[in-house]
């Protein structure tokens, strides 16, 4: 399938590996062109569209346009439908809807808005679509290291993550928890703070040094995170507080430990047993289901 993806930061994460990923704007976020666009866009979407990126031009061969919630601007789908009649254009909410991210309200066709979070689908009447990961980043199991990794923005999770360190260390794990401060952070969360985001290349190097990933989701989040995909595609065990992961068909139970949000409720003996359980390779079918190619095909199946 010939797809065009429009994402706010096409050079971030694994997006450089994918074909036809474009910035929404004529210049990258933070560039003079970007700020000029933002100024012009206050007049209206029609005026600002002159400064939109290459994704809008010469894409007659595309079967599908996926507009990500981060980077979507009102009127993008209207322009695409006008230029490329009959092509499917969807809004993909990869992130949980909150006060800051409500692009679904601006999108003109409610029948082609997708979300990875099932609670959001029910609450806002959206279609469900999974998260995905590129098969180019499949990595074989690297052996037992008894080392657990978390890297991510605070999002109100820092206090819980800090409190988990001692029980996990008591179970025989070494840990590396690197947290990027945001508006939810408090001054007491200073240890192991990141001064700036890691590049994805550096992050993957750190995952290679771990055999377990920690996945702590935001309150009421029911979508799978990128860490779940990294566990599957990078051959890692997973400790998570997201109960949805337990329902994934084909996820080896030996590679998954579900924990509660209260560190006091952690059964350290269960953690020890989990750590000592041999790693079970993830089924080929599971990897294929969450691959980029399968993800694209599901948009067409969801007519």
| 176: nearest Cα among 225, 210, 125 | 210
DSSP-derived 3-state class of residue 291 = strand
> For residues 120 and 131, what is the distance between their CA atoms, to the nearest angstrom?
14
pLDDT confidence band for 31 (50 / 70 / 90):
confident
- Mean pLDDT value of segment 244-267: 90
Token couple for 28: 């990258």
List, for residues 67-89, the tens digit of each pLDDT value.
Answer: 999 889 889 999 999 999 999 99
- What are the E-state strand segments in the chain? 3-6, 21-22, 64-68, 88-93, 113-115, 127-128, 147-153, 174-180, 212-215, 237-240, 256-258
* pLDDT bracket for residue 265 (50, 70, 90): confident
Q: Which two tokens stand for residue 208?
A: 């290679």
> What pLDDT does 190 receive?
53
Confidence class of residue 40 from pLDDT cuts 50, 70 and 90?
low
What is the reported pLDDT for 37? Answer: 63
Tell me the pLDDT tens digit for each residue of 210-243.
Answer: 999 999 998 788 899 999 999 999 999 999 999 9
- pLDDT tens-digit map of 111-163: 999 999 999 999 999 999 999 999 999 999 999 999 999 999 888 888 888 88
**Mean predicted confidence (pLDDT) in 38-64:** 76
In this prediction, residue 155 carries a pLDDT of 86
- φ and ψ of 3, to 5 deg: -115, 150
Structure tokens at 158: 């820092």
**Closest-CA residue to 142 (of 201, 213, 192):** 213
Maximum pairwise Cα distance, the chain: 62
The CA distances from residue 282 to 13, 139, 181, 233, 249, in Å, are: 22, 11, 33, 8, 11
What gap in Å lies between CA 57 and CA 84, rounded to an integer? Answer: 10
pLDDT at 44: 52
pTM: 0.91
Say if residue 233 is exposed, middle or buried (CB neighbours under 10 Å; 0-12, 13-18, 19+). buried
**Is pLDDT at 28 greater than 70 in this prediction?**
no
Which has the closest alpha carbon to 19: 41, 4, 40?
4
Question: CA-to-CA distance for 33 and 40, rounded, in angstroms?
Answer: 10
**Mean pLDDT across 272-285:** 96
| Structural domains of the chain, ranges and CATH numbers in brackets | 3-129 (no CATH), 136-282 (3.40.50.2000)
Q: Are 60 and 84 in contact (CB under 8 A)?
A: yes
Each residue's pLDDT tens digit, 147-206: 999 999 888 888 888 889 888 999 999 999 999 988 887 765 555 778 888 999 999 999
- Across 37-41, 193-197, 269-273, 289-293, least confident range: 37-41
């Amino acid at each position: 399938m010939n797809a065009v993806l429009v994402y706010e930061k096409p050079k971030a994460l694994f997006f450089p590996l994918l074909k036809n990923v474009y910035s929404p704007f004529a210049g990258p976020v933070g560039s003079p062109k970007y700020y000029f666009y933002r100024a012009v866009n206050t007049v209206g979407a029609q005026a600002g569209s002159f400064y939109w990126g290459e994704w809008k031009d010469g894409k007659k061969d595309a079967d599908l346009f996926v507009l990500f919630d981060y980077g979507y601007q009102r009127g993008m789908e209207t322009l695409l439908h006008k230029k490329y009649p009959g092509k499917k254009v969807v809004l993909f909410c990869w992130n949980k809807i909150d006060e800051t991210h409500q692009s679904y309200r601006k999108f003109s066709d409610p029948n082609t808005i997708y979300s990875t979070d099932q609670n959001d689908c029910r609450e806002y009447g959206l279609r469900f679509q999974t998260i995905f990961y590129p098969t180019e980043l499949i990595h074989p199991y690297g052996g037992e290291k008894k080392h657990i990794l978390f890297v991510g923005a605070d999002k109100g999770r820092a206090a819980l993550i800090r409190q988990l360190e001692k029980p996990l260390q008591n179970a025989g794990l070494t840990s590396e928890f690197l947290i990027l401060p945001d508006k939810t952070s408090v001054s007491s969360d200073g240890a192991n703070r990141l001064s700036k985001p890691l590049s994805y290349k550096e992050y993957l190097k750190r995952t290679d040094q771990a055999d377990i990933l920690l996945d702590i989701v935001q309150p009421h989040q029911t979508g799978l995170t990128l860490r779940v995909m990294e566990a599957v595609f990078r051959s890692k065990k997973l400790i998570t507080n997201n109960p949805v992961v337990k329902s994934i068909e084909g996820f080896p139970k030996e590679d998954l430990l579900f924990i509660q949000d209260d560190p006091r409720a952690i059964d350290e003996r269960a953690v020890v047993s989990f750590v000592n359980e041999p790693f079970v390779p993830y089924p080929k079918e599971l990897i294929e289901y969450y691959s980029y190619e399968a993800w694209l095909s599901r948009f067409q199946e969801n007519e």
